[in-house]
């Protein structure tokens, strides 16, 4: 297993300080490791308030064994007895969390009670920084340095509130029954993310992955349409932060009128595939938002082909397909 970061399955931040540091040579980086004396200076001045990120706990996804505690490097948690546990990017043989996040969650024995957390929209939005190693510098440039401060310190209040909100939403979602009616979909929250190369085009996807088995369309004419946010630049560039913040407002605005099935970021445009039986109300709610100019597209976009041909059937492997008009 090569160099990699593992991400807390509650708060989305890495469970180590390791990151790439640019050198004076172009296109050349060193790796800063928190686990060893290093000649590479970190890009950020880590202090005691950042130490919490390196204290990890590994939970059994199936409630078969007790939590293990230790440090994580390159996808492995080494527990106090020296035994390694494979956690990969965060969820494999064990689900890895910061010890501080696990304590905020009431020290659960297994991951079952928190399993919804890494599928929350706010968690998935953290993916902009979740590269092979975490993009600490970009997070700080985006004005989110407060998220790196230990949640149990007074200075970590903003981070604590962020984690408490994720925790509350994860618990709310865990209590929900399996979605059976299309009209119940807006109240749920379950997202996945994917980076895609399709027909020589690169794009970033976030999509709902809880289209439940035997979904009841209630005899209503659910239709899908596109919401387009044109902008200049690359879909994963730092300037898209404003669009991501707008996306959270967009999701709130269309609840409970519609379900955003998927979001796709590509060069110069972000698109949302929206699914509703109340198109006009939905458009009004979106137009009332402050933010970038929004375009609506009611034609069956050939651009959504990837979703319907690849993502959706993949979901349908676990769930029945939603009918589309």
Residues that bind Zn ion (CB under 5 A): 8, 10-11, 98, 101
Identity of the residue, 100 or 315, whose beta carbon is nearer to Zn ion in the bound complex: 100
Q: How far is the CB of 100 from Zn ion (least distance, A)?
A: 7
Identity of the residue, 104 or 235, whose beta carbon is nearer to Zn ion in the bound complex: 104
Location of structure tokens 């706010």: 122
Spatial distance between the Cα atoms of 77 and 323, rounded to a whole number of angstroms: 43
Q: How far is the CB of 302 from Zn ion (least distance, A)?
A: 41
Per-residue exposure over 167-177, b if at least 16 CB sit within 10 Å of its own CB, e if not? bebbeebeeee
Cβ neighbours for 158, distance < 8 A, ≥ 6 positions apart = 146, 147, 149
Q: How far is the CB of 98 from Zn ion (least distance, A)?
A: 4
CB-based contact 16:6 (threshold 8 Å)? yes
Report the run of H or E that residue 305 belongs to, with start and end: helix 305-306
Report the run of H or E that residue 250 belongs to, with start and end: helix 241-254
- Which one, of 97, 131, 136, lies nearest residue 117 by Cα? 97
Residue 309 DSSP symbol? I
Q: How far is the CB of 10 from Zn ion (least distance, A)?
A: 5
Q: How far is the CB of 105 from Zn ion (least distance, A)?
A: 9
Report the run of H or E that residue 171 belongs to, with start and end: helix 157-175
CB-based contact 163:11 (threshold 8 Å)? yes
- Helix, strand, coil shares, percent, the chain, to 5: 35, 25, 40
Q: How far is the CB of 99 from Zn ion (least distance, A)?
A: 9
- Which one, of 48, 33, 279, lies nearest residue 152 by Cα? 48
Q: How far is the CB of 7 from Zn ion (least distance, A)?
A: 8
Identity of the residue, 163 or 258, whose beta carbon is nearer to Zn ion in the bound complex: 163
Identity of the residue, 73 or 184, whose beta carbon is nearer to Zn ion in the bound complex: 73
Identity of the residue, 10 or 274, whose beta carbon is nearer to Zn ion in the bound complex: 10
Torsion sign over Cα 163, 245, 120, 236: negative
Identity of the residue, 101 or 114, whose beta carbon is nearer to Zn ion in the bound complex: 101
Q: Report the phi/psi class of residue 23: left, alpha or beta, with left for phi > 0 and alpha for psi in -120 to 50.
A: beta
Identity of the residue, 83 or 164, whose beta carbon is nearer to Zn ion in the bound complex: 164
Q: How far is the CB of 147 from Zn ion (least distance, A)?
A: 10
Identity of the residue, 9 or 240, whose beta carbon is nearer to Zn ion in the bound complex: 9
């Amino acid at each position: 297993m090569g160099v990699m970061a593992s991400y807390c399955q509650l708060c989305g931040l890495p469970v180590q300080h390791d990151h790439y540091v640019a050198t004076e040579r172009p296109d050349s980086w060193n790796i800063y490791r928190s686990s060893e004396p290093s000649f590479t200076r970190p890009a950020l001045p880590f202090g005691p308030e950042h130490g919490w990120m390196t204290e990890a706990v590994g939970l059994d996804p199936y409630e078969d064994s007790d939590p293990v505690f230790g440090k994580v490097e390159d996808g492995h948690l080494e527990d106090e007895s020296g035994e390694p546990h494979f956690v990969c990017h965060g969820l494999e043989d064990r689900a890895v969390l910061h010890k501080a996040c696990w304590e905020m969650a009431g020290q659960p024995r297994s991951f079952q009670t928190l399993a919804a957390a890494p599928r929350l929209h706010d968690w998935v939005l953290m993916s902009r920084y979740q590269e092979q190693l975490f993009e600490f510098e970009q997070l700080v440039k985006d004005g989110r340095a407060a998220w790196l401060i230990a949640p149990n310190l007074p200075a970590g209040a903003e981070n604590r509130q962020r984690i408490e909100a994720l925790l509350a939403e994860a618990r709310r979602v865990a209590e929900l029954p399996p979605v059976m009616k299309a009209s119940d979909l807006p109240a749920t929250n379950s997202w996945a993310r994917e980076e895609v190369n399709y027909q020589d085009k690169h794009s970033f996807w976030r999509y709902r992955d809880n289209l439940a088995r035997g979904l009841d369309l209630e005899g209503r004419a659910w239709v899908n349409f596109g919401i387009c946010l044109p902008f200049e630049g690359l879909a994963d560039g730092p300037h898209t932060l404003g669009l991501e913040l707008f996306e959270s407002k967009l999701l709130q605005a269309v609840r409970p009128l519609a379900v955003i099935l998927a979001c796709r970021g590509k060069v110069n445009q972000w698109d949302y595939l929206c699914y509703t039986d109340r198109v006009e109300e939905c458009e009004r709610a979106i137009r009332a938002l402050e933010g970038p100019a929004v375009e609506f597209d009611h034609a069956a976009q050939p651009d959504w082909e990837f979703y319907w041909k690849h993502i959706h059937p993949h979901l349908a492997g676990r769930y029945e397909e939603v009918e589309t008009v």
